[in-house]
Structure 1
Amino acid sequence: MKMTFRWFGEGNDTVPLHYIKQIPGTDGIVWSLHDVPAGEEWPMEKILEIKQQAEAAGLHIDVVESVNVHEDIKLGLPSRDVYIENYKRTIEKLGTVGVKVICYNFMPIFDWLRTDLQKPMGNGATALFYENSRIADADPFRLVEEINANSALTMPGWEPERLAHLSKLFEAYQGVTEEHLWENLRYFLNEIIPVAARSGIRMAIHPDDPPWPVFGLPRIMTCQENFRTFLKLYDSPYNGITLCSGSLGANPDNDILAMIHEFAERIPFAHIRNVRVYENGDFIETSHRTEDGTVDIAGIVRAYHEIGFTGYARPDHGRHIWDEQCRPGYGLYDRALGIMYLWGLWDANQLHAGKQVTGS
């Protein structure tokens, strides 16, 4: 297992690179060009700038999250081919600088959804929270305004240029079904996976977050059966999954351990985090510790150890603790604690298997 840490770039992240380097066993950043709108080709000079910054801090840039997919591709519009060509050229550029994995998603409009970015947890910490009933009755436009008003930093998937066209996007998705989304995803994969293979990059789709339809929008990356279908759309080791235990764990019916074992060869990237799910469908993001949530993090790490996982992992979201002022879900303190918890579990599995603990 190779541990990484998501970083949003200088001037757009409260965590400096040299702090990330100090987290034991953490060798690389998970990054993106957040100022490049979805659909545009990434400029090489900006890619090289991130590479130079990371390497100066002793970190690699093997994992990109995300190269966002333009909505016209998801909608299957005639204009999609222009955006797909831009996507291909971006893949090729990333391959030349040593990128090994590109995480992306195929969620209509919203990359993720929460109703509260700073939900009090009762012990002084706060965390990202999803209130099921509020989503059912919410005006999506008002909810987006409220969430953005509570964050001083741009939220991934909620970029201003995307949200400025929210009304038109909802109109465009009228009548779009899951079947349409599957077919448009197939078209996209047929175009990009050969390019990724030539570039030595494994594409890794992220589960829908949360893993069910929201605001009447279809969602398809939600469960084990759907991932099985997805992997058959283009059967290649370069067509894989970002297995996110937090996103999938919001639905207690998802058997994440079974997914790890079934899809072992097709998981180049893992997000390992915990959530606590309530009986009414609400959920809150907790510490990574197994007992703090309803996701079996200890079992998940054991499953990765059992399959001999050599891919990339990151702790994903964290709570906001010790009065840290940070991007919601992406502070230093709790994610660093999460990494140490994950390494502790990994080392325990190493010792149980009779192997010497020598690092990742």
Structure 2
Amino acid sequence: MEYRYLGRSGLMVSCLSLGGWVTYGGQVGPEVAQSCMKTAFDNGINFFDTAEVYSGGQCEIDMGVAIRKFGWKRSDIVISTKLFWGGKGPNDRGLSRKHIIEGTDACLKRLQLDYVDLLYAHRPDPDTPMEEIVRAFNYVIEKGKAFYWGTSEWSAQQITEAHAVAERLHLIAPLMEQPQYNMFHRDRVEKEYLPLYKIYGMGTTIWSPLASGLLSGKYNEGVPPDSRLAIEENAVMKRLRDSLESEDGQAKIRKVVAMGEIAQQLGCTPAQLALAWCLKNPNVSSVITGASRPSQIEENVKCLKVVPLLTDDLMESIEAILTNRPALDYNFRSS
């Protein structure tokens, strides 16, 4: 396993991490979640991601049970959770000081932990003043309930505003952002955030590296009944499922088929190629993966052997298939 510094901090996270969205507490039971987390840990993954909204908090509960069951040394794991959608009450959502502090306490109770390493603002909150948000996260960190705070799906402007507030008040600024990033969703990570990596040393823990499984090739011939996109009660999955029938969805599938040919040449799976492609970006601290069975984790970890195979020429071949590079003056070359 490769470990990377999380932005401009001394914290090291495994470049592949395991997240619980949709899966743990919902799609699979606690025993499967425990098996997946154990397999991840045994393969060098030290970073586990959840959120208060995942399966109504059950994901945090299941992950917390697994952590206690295996007796992992706390310094050997990095745990993150996210705040925004904490319940149905008027003060159970958003980023008010009240919800950030009470929501953090509720998360820790479900996780059975004294603190989390990373605490995210799951979405921006235009109804709460930025100063209130920054002060609240700073308070939580000073109370020892979290070590670092960050954002998820915030714009560069909103992140910059948070840093400006923190600098003016001599408070702790956000360290990391958790954006969606994959071969089909690139603009924010590769273009909008570019100044933030240089100015603030921002780290990224990216989600949906396989575009909800689309880049794995599993949907080339339709939607398998045991896949995420087959979950009827999840509105996000339903929207993605319906999008596959559109002209744009079919065009993406054709690109996935072409990417599969490159993967075959490299002796890897399309999923491993897609994960390796994300890891090739030096501004990615960790790629959050999902898994409903341990074997998926074992397969995902093999992508680490693919990264060195992604030469400049091969990356250009991939670009020729994707045709969606957002910034012509930016690439993943190490020079």
TM-score for the superposition, normalised by structure 1: 0.47
TM-score for the superposition, normalised by structure 2: 0.49
Bigger helix fraction: 2
